[in-house]
Chains A and B, each alone.
Chain A
């Protein structure tokens, strides 16, 4: 019930999350009630099934990969802190935040947004996208509609174009290079209200 949901979130926690993610106080409390309503097990953490219950996410071809981005390796639960940390990647970049503290890179920086996308492809988390990984992700996106052959040639060409050191894999640096001209800041942002 409502009153319990907000009492679990202490003021100190909100402050810390605010610092770490850049979300405002009211955004945090409201995302907390969203978190709470997704948490069907009512144990203060979300499982993969909790995410899969969102129909719009379940029909997203990359839904499973996106859900995976919330879980650190080996974990099958994500708490509110972790939930917020992942969401923070999608905060728009605001001008006054750009050079706030040069030592700490905000979660919603261009680099971190790109890293989020990179990790969708990097299935085994070895910081490289291999041809095989790319093929698997492509298959998730297109389903049964495109032949293995055709998909293979798309993967080959994509790797060829992006691979600068000839190891037939895409590193994060090569990934950044390919997407140099894309407006990542805008395309990987969600308009959170106040």
Chain B
């Protein structure tokens, strides 16, 4: 027994010392240990990449370096089928059809089976080089003994040292939030309360961010969302919230959860007006819009944070923005978030992992490194409807973040495509068959 204590006590001491060293600077937005750690990490990964490159045959590198399996040419239905039919005369009565018309559909179909724009956005992105985490890539295997040893050391460091530290930090951060906001909640409404509430929130997020070893680079801070506005961002993971809130207060919008999340939410709302909806209320679009409108009309309230994609995408693209957030009015502050996949895969594949196992994966990654770009505020133009406005904002975010701009609905992760899309295709083909004068 005694010898167990002899080991445990010093270990605990070291941990608490480290904890204090990490947490105190974090609370006030300073950092030192994290920076050193990041530098060391980058060096190590560079070395590993070099090692892989030199020891593997060229062929393998080539395969892992390239994206895409096929090259598509995006010629239109009209052009393709026109070519297929060649200069066959189109008879005036009865319309035109040739057996070869199916070639177009078969090729498109097989292409989408080999590679498609949507489904691959819902699974982890592929890396160019291995980052010494087992889970991220298909193409990397045993390379050399030294690399394997390094990987082993990495596992010990990540699970033995980083994980317990990070879990403790996260727990402290969350309890701080619950206790802090509850206490602040008792104060009468005043400037002091707002200020204290913001302070508590930011401290909590900073501690949590340390808990994920997040290194965040903010760009164009002059465009930071202001009060009475709506901040829209692309969505990769639940920790997007932590990332953004590290640099300023936001009012969150979301559904009321049960369990631990519920406790946190209830505490938060006491100190600062976040907008939580009951599940049933969420369906009532009118009510939702009204409450958001009321919020932004009050210029003293924090900007609302919304992820208009409605689901997490794997950090390579931006999908359709739901128009709801753009119907509220007010100024939109677009934000682009792009994680560096080399240090850890931040994407939450919610179909595959639960929230807790996702967080564990995050906490056993090397670090979370990401870039946040604040884009200049935007407002809806007169001739624009909400959908067009949403698309305009989306393409700006995509361009800034270096993400692929897709018009598909992220909801496809769970739901099937609406039949109307197929009907559109059929309509297009029909006009090829009967000609555009078919209406009469």
Chain A positions near chain B (C-beta within 8 angstroms): 1-3, 5-6, 26-27, 29-31, 33-34, 37-38, 51-63, 66, 87, 90, 116-117, 120-121, 137-138, 141-146, 150, 153-154, 157-158, 162, 175, 178-179, 181-182, 184, 187-194
Contact = CB atoms under 8 A, between A and B. Distances in A.
30 contacts: A1-B135, A2-B137, A2-B138, A5-B138, A29-B139, A30-B63, A31-B69, A37-B119, A38-B113, A53-B119, A57-B113, A58-B422, A60-B105, A60-B109, A61-B425, A61-B429, A66-B113, A142-B426, A142-B430, A143-B430, A146-B434, A153-B94, A154-B433, A182-B100, A184-B100, A187-B104, A191-B71, A191-B72, A192-B70, A193-B70
Main SS at interface, chain A:
helix
Nearest to A146: B430
Nearest to B420: A59
Given A5-B138, A157-B94, A190 B102 contact: no
B358 to A, nearest CB: 14
Given A66-B105, A146-B433, 4 more contacts: A1-B134, A2-B136, A55-B408, A141-B429
Nearest to A2: B138
Contacts of B68: 193
B84 interface: yes
A87 B110 contact: yes
Contacts of B421: 55, 59
A21 to B, nearest CB: 13
B152 interface: no
Given A66-B105, A120-B106, A146-B433, A34 B114 contact: yes
A66 B119 contact: no
Interface in B93-128: 93-95, 97-120, 123
A154 B94 contact: yes
A51 B211 CA distance: 40
A116 B107 CA distance: 11
Contacts of A53: 119, 416
B66 interface: yes
B153 interface: no
A140 B107 CA distance: 17
B63 A175 contact: no
Contacts of B59: 26
B161 interface: no
Contact of B118 (A2, A27, A55, A145): A55
B86 A54 contact: no
A191 B123 CA distance: 24
Nearest to A187: B103
A55 to B, nearest CB: 5
Nearest to B100: A182
B102 A138 contact: no
A56 B117 contact: yes
Contacts of A188: 103, 106-107
Contacts of B120: 37
Contacts of A182: 84, 86, 100, 103
Contacts of B422: 58-61, 63, 143
Contacts of B134: 1-3
**Chain A to chain B: the 9 pairs with minimum beta-carbon distance, closest first:** A143-B426, A145-B430, A56-B112, A66-B109, A26-B63, A62-B105, A59-B421, A191-B71, A2-B138
